[in-house]
Amino acid sequence: MQPVKELVEGLDILDSFLTQHGFEFDKYENEKGSGGQFTVATFVKGHKKFILNYHSSIRQVLYQFDKATVCHDFYIDQLRFTNKKKLPDFHSEDKHLAFKCLLHDFELLIEDFFDGECQRLKVFSNLQGNVITEYGGKARDEYKQKIDCARIEEARQKFRNKDFKSSLEIYGTVELRSLLNDLDGRLIKYCEHTINTKE
């Protein structure tokens, strides 16, 4: 399979850091979720894996050691580096911005993940599992809201670029419809009208 150009360019930004710390590219995989098709890029170093999910922008970043896995935000928050974290939770017109921010955040994880034995990752993985189990509904809702907000921003950007078909398709993947405001309603109607007129 051929990954999208923006993903390849983004990974080029991360490549020298990952190579310097002994990680090698493993594979691309296409997967399908509630938001449509996305690409998973995996890098490996022994028992360690760095996994990045991409669909128009970075959707999820995971760090894995054997069976222990932690997501980017949770890992950095538990290391008490929240205020130093740069990876944005919104979609940007600059396709490279998220990768540049992720490269910055890598510096916060050198000691434990990239050069270390992942001792804290293993602890955080159990903690993350407990948090999700204990607050499962709330955690899932917060995750859905975060993803849907990114989708809405992406749909608005597609509209600004006059890509009305893509904008409408992305709006259609928003699960929490209550997040859509009056502006979104007008944009959706405009997209529908424009597409129907062309047909």
Q: According to the per-residue pLDDT averaged within each range, which of 29-43, 55-69, 85-99, 100-114 is highest?
A: 100-114
pLDDT score for 137: 54
Q: Would you place residue 186 in the very low, low, confident or very high pLDDT band (cuts 50, 70, 90)?
A: very high
Please tell me the distance from the alpha carbon of residue 88 to that of residue 97, in angstroms, as a whole number. Answer: 9
pLDDT of the residue at 138: 56
Residue 105 or 55, more confident: 105
pLDDT tens for 103-128 read 999 999 999 999 999 999 999 888 87
pLDDT exceeds cutoff 50 at 134: no
What is the percent of the chain with per-residue pLDDT over 70, rounded to a whole number?
A: 84
Q: Is the pLDDT of residue 82 over 70?
A: yes
Determine the length of the chain. 199
State the DSSP H helix or E strand holding residue 127, giving kind and residue range, or none if neither. Answer: helix 119-134
Q: What does the pLDDT look like over 9-46, one tens digit per residue?
A: 999 999 999 999 999 999 888 776 555 577 899 999 99
| pLDDT of 6 above 70 | yes
